[in-house]
Chain A
Amino acid sequence: MNWLRHFPSTAYLVIALSFIYLPVVVLVLFSFQDGALPVFPFTGPSLQWYEKMFGNERLVESLLNSIVVAVLSSLVTTVLGFLAAYGMARRTPRFAGGIRFLLMAPLTVSYLIIGMGLLITFNLIGIPKSLFAVGLGHVIINLPLCFAVIYSQFGDHLRNIEWAARDLGANDTQTLLRVIAPIMKPSLLASFCLSVTLSWDEFIIAFLLSRFDVTLPVIIFEMLRAGLTPEVNAAGTMVFAISMLTIGVGVIFMFVVAREKK
C-alpha cells in the first residue's frame, strides 16, 4: 500500500499545482473563446480574438515598443554589467565592498520607488516622458542582476587563460574583448535573456515614465478598463508565451554555464 502512505503528499502537490496553474489555464483557454466574454461556458475554439488583437494598431505598436525597449536596454545593461564584473574581479578597486553594495542596492528598492525617483528627477532636469526614459529605468533595475550573474562566473579558472593571453602579447583590452568575452558568452547571453524578460514584463516604471508611445504591459492595463474581454486574454497569452520563450533560452544558456564549470 505504498500509494496510500504517499497519498497526503501527492494530494497536496496536485492541489498546490492546480492552484498555481488555474489562472494560467483559464487565461489561455478563454483567449480561444468564440463569444464576447472570457467566461464559462466555453464556446470555441476560435482565433477571432487573436485576429482582432493583431488588427489593433495601438497594441501592435506597443508590442514593437516593448521589444525595442527590452532589447536595447538589455544590451546596455549586459555590457555595463560585464565591464563592471570584470573591473570588480580583475582590477579590484579601492572600496570594493562599498562599490559592490552600491551596484547591488537598486535590488532592495521597490520598482515603484525607483520609478518615482526617476519621474521626479527627469521632470526637474527636463527629460520628457518617453520610451528612452523607460529604457533608462529598465537599465537601472536590471543592472544589479546582470552584474551578479556575470560576476559569479569570473572564477579563478579563467586566470591562467588570461595570463597566457598576456604572455603572448595581448594587452588588457585585447584580453578582455578577444579572450574573456568569448569565454563568457553563455553567461552574457543568460543575463541578456534575464534582462529582456524582466524589461518585457515591467509595468510600473513604463507606466510612470512614458506618455504617448507606451509598452505592452501599459496597453494591457489600459485595456482592462473595458472589463473582461477575450482580446486581453489573447494579448496576455502572447505575453506569457514570449516570456516563456525568453526564459527557456536563458535557462538553456544557464545550463551551458553550469556544465562548463564542471
Chain B
Amino acid sequence: MTRPKGKPRKSGRFEFTRWAIHPALLFTVVLFVLPLAMMVVVSFWQRVYGRLSATWSTANYSKFFGTEYLLDTLFNSIEVTVVTTIVSILLAYPLAYILAYKVSPRWQKLILIFAVLPFWTAYVVRSYSWLLVISENGIVNYVLLNLGLIDQPLQMAYTRGATILGFVHFFTMLLTLTIYANLVQIKPSYQKAAEDLGASRLQVFFRITLPLSIPGVAVGAFITFVIAIGDFITPQILGGSTEVLVPQAIILQVSRAANFPMASVMSITLMLVIVLVYALTAKHQKMDRV
C-alpha cells in the first residue's frame, strides 16, 4: 500500500465539505465536554465567603457523603426513581401487550399514537395538571366528598406519592412505546411452535414472550431512570418541600447559596449513579432490537 496518508488534493480550490463534521464537533466539545470537565474541576474547589476559590480539596465530597440531610436526598431520589420505574413497567407492559396482541393491526398504530400523545404535553404543565386532580379541592377529593366516602379531603398533593404519580403517568407512556416496539418484532412462529409443542398460554407468555421482550423493558427502564432521577420539576411541583430530591437540592445550592462546588458534587454523584445503572443493565439493553 503506497497510498498517501492524507486525502489527495483534487484541486487547489477550497472545499468546505471537508470540514462538514467539525462545527458539530466544536459545539459538542465546547458546550458539553468542556462544561462537564469544568464541573469536575469546580467540585474540588471551595466556596470562601460566597466566592469561588481555586483551592483543591475533596472537602465538598466528604461534606456531601458525611452529612445526613444531604446524603438523604440521594437515597430519596434513588427510592423514588426505583419505585417509579417498577410501577411504570407494571402498568405499561399489559398496555403494550394488549396493543400488540389483542388489538387488530389496523387500530394498533392509531391507538398507540393516541396513547403516547400527552407525552408531549408541556412538561411544566403536565405536573401542574395533576395538582388539579389530586389537590385538596381537586377532582378526586371533590368526587369522594360528594359520594360521602370521606369527611375530610385527603392530603395527596405535596407528598412522595404525588411525585411518583406524576412520574408514573409520564413514563408509562414511554415504556409502552419501547415495550410495544419490542413485542411486535418477536416472530409469531416462536409462540406458535411453543403452542404446537403443548405449552399452555401462560407457559408461552412466561417462557417465550416475556424473555424475548426484556430488551424493550430494559431500554425503557433505563431511559426512565435517567430522566426521572435528573428531573427537578415533578418533585418540585407535586412533591412540594416535604422531602428534597437531588435535583431540588442542586437548584437550592445554586439559587439560595450560589454554592457551585456543592452543586457540582451533587451533579457528578447523579451522573455516577446513572453510569452505574447503565453498567448493571447494559447487557440486557440490546438497543438494536428495539
B132 touches A204 (CB 8 A): no
**Chain A residues near B131 (CB-CB < 8 A):** 228
Find residues 6-54 in chain A having any chain B CB closer than 8 Å to their own CB. 6, 9, 12-13, 16-17, 19-24, 26-27, 30, 37-40
In this assembly, does A157 line the interface, its C-beta being within 8 Å of a C-beta of chain B?
no
Contact of A91 among B17, B99, B172 (CB under 8 A): B17
A140 touches B129 (CB 8 A): no
The segment out of B55-63, B66-74, B136-144 that lies at the interface is B136-144
List 12 A-B residue pairs with CB atoms under 8 Å apart, sorted by A's residue number: A9-B102, A16-B94, A23-B118, A27-B125, A27-B129, A91-B17, A102-B25, A110-B231, A116-B39, A120-B264, A197-B120, A203-B232
Contact of A113 among B126, B129, B230 (CB under 8 A): B230
**Chain A residues near B102 (CB-CB < 8 A):** 6, 9
A110 touches B132 (CB 8 A): no
A24 touches B129 (CB 8 A): yes
**Chain A residues near B117 (CB-CB < 8 A):** 244
**Chain A residues near B105 (CB-CB < 8 A):** none
Q: Closest A-chain residue to B263, C-beta based?
A: A116
In this assembly, does B220 line the interface, its C-beta being within 8 Å of a C-beta of chain A?
no
B123 touches A117 (CB 8 A): no
B35 touches A121 (CB 8 A): yes
B32 touches A121 (CB 8 A): no
Find residues 83-115 in chain A having any chain B CB closer than 8 Å to their own CB. 83-84, 86-88, 90-91, 93, 99, 102-103, 105-106, 108-114
In this assembly, does A137 line the interface, its C-beta being within 8 Å of a C-beta of chain B?
yes
Min CB–CB distance B228 → chain A (angstroms): 10
In this assembly, does A220 line the interface, its C-beta being within 8 Å of a C-beta of chain B?
yes
The segment out of A55-63, A171-179, A183-191 that lies at the interface is A171-179
Extra contacts, 17 of them, besides A20-B169, A99-B25 (Cβ < 8 A), are A19-B91, A37-B137, A87-B20, A90-B17, A103-B25, A106-B28, A112-B231, A113-B267, A116-B250, A118-B35, A120-B35, A140-B27, A220-B122, A221-B124, A228-B131, A232-B128, A239-B122
Q: Give 6 nearest A-B pairs by CB, closest first.
A: A110-B230, A117-B35, A87-B21, A87-B20, A236-B125, A84-B24
Min CB–CB distance A46 → chain B (angstroms): 17
Decide yes or no: A23 and B38 within 8 Å by CB, A99-B25, A110-B229, A243-B122 being known contacts: no
B115 touches A16 (CB 8 A): yes
Contact of B139 among A40, A91, A111, A171 (CB under 8 A): A40
Q: When chains A and B are docked, how far (Å) is the Cα of A228 from the Cα of B288?
A: 44
A83 touches B21 (CB 8 A): yes
Q: When chains A and B are docked, how far (Å) is the Cα of A163 from the Cα of B9?
A: 18
**Chain A residues near B21 (CB-CB < 8 A):** 83-84, 87-88, 91, 93, 99
**Chain B residues near A6 (CB-CB < 8 A):** 102
Q: Closest A-chain residue to B130, C-beta based?
A: A23
In this assembly, does A149 line the interface, its C-beta being within 8 Å of a C-beta of chain B?
no
A137 touches B31 (CB 8 A): yes
Q: When chains A and B are docked, how far (Å) is the Cα of A174 from the Cα of B244?
A: 56
Min CB–CB distance A38 → chain B (angstroms): 6
A24 touches B138 (CB 8 A): no
Which size bracket describes the interface of A in this complex?
A: 35 or more
- Render A175-212 as a binary contact track against B, CB cut-off 8 A, 1 for contact: 01000000000000000000001000111100010000
Min CB–CB distance B287 → chain A (angstroms): 11
A9 touches B98 (CB 8 A): yes
Main SS class of interface, B: helix
Main SS class of interface, A: helix
**Chain A residues near B120 (CB-CB < 8 A):** 197, 201, 243-244, 247
Q: Closest A-chain residue to B29, C-beta based?
A: A102
Find residues 135-155 in chain A having any chain B CB closer than 8 Å to their own CB. 136-137, 139-140, 143, 147
- Render B18-45 as a binary contact track against A, CB cut-off 8 A, 1 for contact: 1111111101110111111011001000
In this assembly, does B247 line the interface, its C-beta being within 8 Å of a C-beta of chain A?
yes
Decide yes or no: A123 and B267 within 8 Å by CB, A136-B31, A236-B128 being known contacts: no
In this assembly, does B181 line the interface, its C-beta being within 8 Å of a C-beta of chain A?
no
Contact of B25 among A84, A117, A123 (CB under 8 A): A84
Find residues 206-262 in chain A having any chain B CB closer than 8 Å to their own CB. 208, 217, 220-221, 224, 228, 232-233, 235-236, 239-240, 243-244, 247
**Chain B residues near A239 (CB-CB < 8 A):** 122, 125
Contact of A204 among B133, B135, B233 (CB under 8 A): B233
Max chain A CB contacts within 10 Å: which of B20, B52, B98, B233? B20
In this assembly, does A119 line the interface, its C-beta being within 8 Å of a C-beta of chain B?
yes
Q: When chains A and B are docked, how far (Å) is the Cα of A9 from the Cα of B97?
A: 9
Contact of A12 among B27, B98, B172 (CB under 8 A): B98
Q: When chains A and B are docked, how far (Å) is the Cα of A54 from the Cα of B79?
A: 42
Decide yes or no: A16 and B28 within 8 Å by CB, A26-B132, A204-B232, A236-B125 being known contacts: no
Q: When chains A and B are docked, how far (Å) is the Cα of A124 from the Cα of B35?
A: 10
**Chain B residues near A38 (CB-CB < 8 A):** 132
